Amino acid sequence: MLWPSGIRHSPIGAVILTSGEIDHVAGLFSLRERHPFTVIALRQVHDAMNANPMLEAVRAERLVATPGEPIALPGGLSAMLFPVPGKVPLYLERGESGLAYDDGETAGVRLTGKGGSIVYIPGCAAAGDDLIREAAKADVLFFDGTLFTDDEMIRAGLGEKTGRRMGHMPISGEGGSLAWLRDLPRTRRIYIHLNNSNPALIDGSPERQEIEAAGVEVAFDGMEVVP
Protein backbone atom coordinates (compact mmCIF):
# COMPACT_ATOMS: atom_id res chain seq x y z
CA MET A 1 0.00 0.00 0.00
CA LEU A 2 1.27 3.47 -0.86
CA TRP A 3 0.43 4.82 2.57
CA PRO A 4 2.82 6.36 5.15
CA SER A 5 3.43 4.38 8.33
CA GLY A 6 4.85 7.26 10.37
CA ILE A 7 5.64 10.95 10.43
CA ARG A 8 7.25 11.96 7.12
CA HIS A 9 7.49 8.35 6.08
CA SER A 10 6.93 7.24 2.50
CA PRO A 11 6.58 3.68 1.21
CA ILE A 12 8.31 4.79 -2.02
CA GLY A 13 11.78 3.26 -2.02
CA ALA A 14 12.90 4.14 -5.54
CA VAL A 15 11.98 6.49 -8.38
CA ILE A 16 12.96 5.78 -11.99
CA LEU A 17 13.25 8.76 -14.33
CA THR A 18 13.10 8.23 -18.08
CA SER A 19 13.79 11.89 -18.86
CA GLY A 20 15.01 15.10 -17.27
CA GLU A 21 11.97 17.06 -18.47
CA ILE A 22 10.22 19.24 -15.90
CA ASP A 23 7.10 17.06 -15.71
CA HIS A 24 9.30 14.06 -14.89
CA VAL A 25 11.57 15.67 -12.31
CA ALA A 26 9.26 18.12 -10.52
CA GLY A 27 7.48 15.36 -8.60
CA LEU A 28 10.68 14.70 -6.66
CA PHE A 29 10.05 17.86 -4.68
CA SER A 30 7.06 16.14 -3.06
CA LEU A 31 9.49 13.54 -1.69
CA ARG A 32 11.98 15.94 -0.14
CA GLU A 33 11.05 15.32 3.52
CA ARG A 34 14.26 13.37 4.15
CA HIS A 35 12.73 9.91 3.96
CA PRO A 36 15.42 7.85 2.19
CA PHE A 37 14.79 6.74 -1.38
CA THR A 38 16.80 6.24 -4.56
CA VAL A 39 16.56 8.10 -7.86
CA ILE A 40 17.48 5.87 -10.80
CA ALA A 41 18.22 7.30 -14.25
CA LEU A 42 20.76 7.28 -17.04
CA ARG A 43 23.82 9.52 -16.74
CA GLN A 44 22.45 12.35 -18.90
CA VAL A 45 19.36 12.75 -16.71
CA HIS A 46 21.47 12.83 -13.55
CA ASP A 47 23.70 15.47 -15.15
CA ALA A 48 20.66 17.66 -15.81
CA MET A 49 19.48 17.27 -12.21
CA ASN A 50 22.92 17.92 -10.76
CA ALA A 51 23.07 21.21 -12.66
CA ASN A 52 19.87 22.41 -10.99
CA PRO A 53 20.53 23.77 -7.48
CA MET A 54 16.86 23.45 -6.50
CA LEU A 55 17.19 19.68 -6.60
CA GLU A 56 19.80 19.81 -3.84
CA ALA A 57 16.78 19.90 -1.52
CA VAL A 58 15.94 16.33 -2.57
CA ARG A 59 18.10 14.23 -0.27
CA ALA A 60 17.97 11.03 -2.26
CA GLU A 61 20.60 8.56 -3.28
CA ARG A 62 21.47 9.06 -6.94
CA LEU A 63 21.99 5.80 -8.80
CA VAL A 64 23.33 6.04 -12.34
CA ALA A 65 21.93 3.21 -14.44
CA THR A 66 24.08 1.50 -17.05
CA PRO A 67 22.09 0.89 -20.23
CA GLY A 68 21.13 -2.75 -20.57
CA GLU A 69 22.12 -3.77 -17.04
CA PRO A 70 19.38 -4.78 -14.55
CA ILE A 71 19.01 -3.02 -11.19
CA ALA A 72 17.38 -4.70 -8.18
CA LEU A 73 14.39 -2.77 -6.81
CA PRO A 74 12.43 -3.04 -3.57
CA GLY A 75 9.64 -5.60 -3.69
CA GLY A 76 11.51 -8.21 -5.70
CA LEU A 77 11.44 -6.34 -9.00
CA SER A 78 14.30 -5.48 -11.33
CA ALA A 79 14.60 -2.58 -13.76
CA MET A 80 16.67 -2.23 -16.90
CA LEU A 81 16.96 1.13 -18.65
CA PHE A 82 17.78 1.55 -22.33
CA PRO A 83 18.13 4.71 -24.47
CA VAL A 84 15.38 5.59 -26.93
CA PRO A 85 15.29 8.43 -29.46
CA GLY A 86 14.33 11.62 -27.68
CA LYS A 87 15.76 15.04 -26.91
CA VAL A 88 17.30 17.18 -24.22
CA PRO A 89 14.88 18.71 -21.68
CA LEU A 90 13.13 21.85 -22.88
CA TYR A 91 15.01 24.04 -20.40
CA LEU A 92 18.33 22.87 -21.88
CA GLU A 93 17.44 23.40 -25.53
CA ARG A 94 19.63 25.87 -27.40
CA GLY A 95 18.43 26.46 -30.94
CA GLU A 96 18.30 23.13 -32.70
CA SER A 97 20.22 21.34 -29.94
CA GLY A 98 17.03 19.68 -28.77
CA LEU A 99 16.48 17.63 -31.91
CA ALA A 100 15.88 13.94 -31.45
CA TYR A 101 18.75 11.57 -30.76
CA ASP A 102 19.34 8.50 -28.64
CA ASP A 103 22.37 9.08 -26.46
CA GLY A 104 20.52 8.68 -23.16
CA GLU A 105 18.54 11.89 -22.72
CA THR A 106 15.40 9.73 -22.97
CA ALA A 107 15.02 6.14 -21.83
CA GLY A 108 12.67 3.19 -21.80
CA VAL A 109 12.40 0.87 -18.82
CA ARG A 110 11.91 -2.88 -18.59
CA LEU A 111 10.41 -3.93 -15.24
CA THR A 112 10.64 -7.63 -14.47
CA GLY A 113 9.08 -9.62 -11.66
CA LYS A 114 7.69 -13.07 -10.97
CA GLY A 115 4.53 -12.35 -12.96
CA GLY A 116 6.28 -11.27 -16.16
CA SER A 117 7.71 -8.09 -17.63
CA ILE A 118 6.54 -4.60 -18.52
CA VAL A 119 8.25 -2.20 -20.90
CA TYR A 120 7.47 1.47 -20.23
CA ILE A 121 8.32 4.11 -22.85
CA PRO A 122 6.42 7.37 -22.16
CA GLY A 123 8.43 9.47 -24.61
CA CYS A 124 9.91 8.37 -27.93
CA ALA A 125 10.66 10.33 -31.11
CA ALA A 126 11.26 7.35 -33.39
CA ALA A 127 11.26 3.56 -33.28
CA GLY A 128 14.21 1.64 -34.66
CA ASP A 129 14.76 -2.10 -34.86
CA ASP A 130 16.42 -2.32 -31.42
CA LEU A 131 13.52 -0.58 -29.70
CA ILE A 132 10.93 -2.73 -31.46
CA ARG A 133 12.79 -5.91 -30.48
CA GLU A 134 12.89 -4.74 -26.86
CA ALA A 135 9.15 -3.97 -26.92
CA ALA A 136 8.33 -7.35 -28.44
CA LYS A 137 9.89 -9.16 -25.46
CA ALA A 138 7.44 -7.60 -22.99
CA ASP A 139 4.23 -9.12 -21.70
CA VAL A 140 2.81 -5.60 -21.50
CA LEU A 141 4.05 -2.50 -23.34
CA PHE A 142 3.14 1.03 -22.26
CA PHE A 143 4.05 3.33 -25.14
CA ASP A 144 4.07 7.03 -25.95
CA GLY A 145 0.68 8.05 -27.33
CA THR A 146 1.09 11.80 -26.89
CA LEU A 147 -0.18 12.89 -30.31
CA PHE A 148 -2.30 11.18 -32.93
CA THR A 149 -0.79 13.17 -35.82
CA ASP A 150 2.62 14.78 -36.04
CA ASP A 151 1.26 18.28 -36.71
CA GLU A 152 -1.57 18.04 -34.18
CA MET A 153 -0.35 20.84 -31.92
CA ILE A 154 0.24 23.17 -34.86
CA ARG A 155 -3.18 22.58 -36.40
CA ALA A 156 -4.87 23.09 -33.04
CA GLY A 157 -3.04 26.38 -32.49
CA LEU A 158 -1.41 25.01 -29.34
CA GLY A 159 2.23 25.17 -30.41
CA GLU A 160 4.71 25.64 -33.20
CA LYS A 161 6.50 22.29 -33.05
CA THR A 162 5.71 18.92 -34.55
CA GLY A 163 5.37 15.95 -32.28
CA ARG A 164 8.71 14.50 -33.32
CA ARG A 165 10.41 17.84 -32.64
CA MET A 166 8.98 17.63 -29.12
CA GLY A 167 10.35 14.10 -28.75
CA HIS A 168 7.10 12.23 -29.44
CA MET A 169 6.42 10.15 -32.54
CA PRO A 170 2.77 10.31 -33.65
CA ILE A 171 0.38 7.39 -33.48
CA SER A 172 -0.81 7.59 -37.08
CA GLY A 173 0.66 8.30 -40.48
CA GLU A 174 3.85 7.18 -42.18
CA GLY A 175 6.37 6.21 -39.55
CA GLY A 176 3.75 6.38 -36.81
CA SER A 177 3.82 3.99 -33.87
CA LEU A 178 0.57 2.19 -34.70
CA ALA A 179 2.15 0.78 -37.87
CA TRP A 180 4.56 -1.38 -35.88
CA LEU A 181 2.53 -1.86 -32.70
CA ARG A 182 -0.11 -3.74 -34.69
CA ASP A 183 2.58 -6.33 -35.53
CA LEU A 184 3.23 -7.27 -31.86
CA PRO A 185 0.14 -9.42 -31.16
CA ARG A 186 1.78 -11.45 -28.40
CA THR A 187 2.39 -8.29 -26.36
CA ARG A 188 -0.42 -6.36 -24.70
CA ARG A 189 0.00 -2.84 -26.06
CA ILE A 190 -1.31 0.23 -24.25
CA TYR A 191 -0.94 3.88 -25.23
CA ILE A 192 -0.13 6.24 -22.37
CA HIS A 193 0.81 9.91 -21.93
CA LEU A 194 -1.91 11.15 -24.31
CA ASN A 195 -2.03 14.91 -24.73
CA ASN A 196 -5.38 16.63 -24.19
CA SER A 197 -5.38 17.53 -27.89
CA ASN A 198 -5.36 13.86 -28.90
CA PRO A 199 -8.77 12.81 -30.28
CA ALA A 200 -8.02 9.19 -29.35
CA LEU A 201 -8.93 10.18 -25.79
CA ILE A 202 -12.57 10.26 -26.88
CA ASP A 203 -14.23 6.87 -26.60
CA GLY A 204 -15.83 5.96 -29.91
CA SER A 205 -13.94 8.52 -31.98
CA PRO A 206 -12.61 7.42 -35.40
CA GLU A 207 -9.08 7.73 -34.01
CA ARG A 208 -9.88 5.49 -31.04
CA GLN A 209 -11.57 2.99 -33.34
CA GLU A 210 -8.49 2.88 -35.57
CA ILE A 211 -6.29 2.14 -32.57
CA GLU A 212 -8.58 -0.54 -31.18
CA ALA A 213 -8.93 -2.18 -34.60
CA ALA A 214 -5.16 -2.72 -34.50
CA GLY A 215 -5.50 -4.53 -31.16
CA VAL A 216 -3.99 -1.66 -29.15
CA GLU A 217 -5.54 -0.10 -26.04
CA VAL A 218 -5.72 3.45 -24.73
CA ALA A 219 -5.02 3.88 -21.02
CA PHE A 220 -7.54 5.56 -18.76
CA ASP A 221 -7.60 6.91 -15.21
CA GLY A 222 -7.83 4.08 -12.71
CA MET A 223 -6.80 1.42 -15.21
CA GLU A 224 -5.45 -1.78 -13.66
CA VAL A 225 -3.32 -4.29 -15.54
CA VAL A 226 -3.62 -7.78 -14.06
CA PRO A 227 -1.12 -10.53 -14.99
pLDDT per position as a tens digit, 165-193 = 899 999 999 899 999 999 998 999 999 99
Amino acid at 48: A
pLDDT in tens, 189-209: 999 999 999 999 999 999 999
What backbone torsions phi and psi does residue 65 show, to the nearest 5 degrees?
-80, 140
Distance between CA atoms of 169 and 219, rounded to whole angstroms? 17
- Confidence bin at 100 (pLDDT 50/70/90): low
Quote the strand ranges of 163-219, DSSP E.
Answer: 188-192, 217-218
CA-based radius of gyration for the chain: 18
What backbone torsions phi and psi does residue 207 show, to the nearest 5 degrees?
-65, -40
- Per-residue confidence (pLDDT) for residue 178, from 0 to 100: 97
Distance between CA atoms of 76 and 47, rounded to whole angstroms? 28
CA torsion through residues 155, 156, 160, 165, sign: negative
Q: Residue 179 carries which DSSP code?
A: H
SS3 224: coil
- Spans of all domains in the chain: 115-218
DSSP lists the bridge partners of residue 81 as 109
- Per-residue confidence (pLDDT) for residue 13, from 0 to 100: 86
